[in-house]
Amino acid sequence: MGLILKYFLEINKFNLLYSLIIFLMFSNIKYFFISFGSFGTFVGFVNFNYFHGNQYYLYYNLGYTKIKLILISWLFNVSISIILYYLLKI
């Protein structure tokens, strides 16, 4: 589980930066959460693949496929976005 958390944090470094830029452009927190849960996650995957692409061999050798890592991270991001959106909406 520690490796999945490491991958999740690596992906979200780029995702948070991109989502923050979107938030600053539109000044609406709703767009931050939409970006964080959807397109920002894709930007995180692309950047991780570009900067840390060789690490996928490590994950694969430990039994985690690229698809499994991407799906788990995407599900976490969507869940976090939905929960935080409704908590801050109140």
CB 11, CB 53: distance < 8 Å? no
The predicted structure's pLDDT at residue 90: 56
Q: Classify the C-alpha dihedral 40-22-47-87 as positive or negative.
A: negative
Q: What is the pLDDT, as a whole number, of residue 89?
A: 79
- Per-residue pLDDT of 57-72, as tens digits, reads 999 999 999 999 999 9
How far is 65 from 28, CA to CA, in rounded Å?
36
pTM to 2 decimals? 0.86
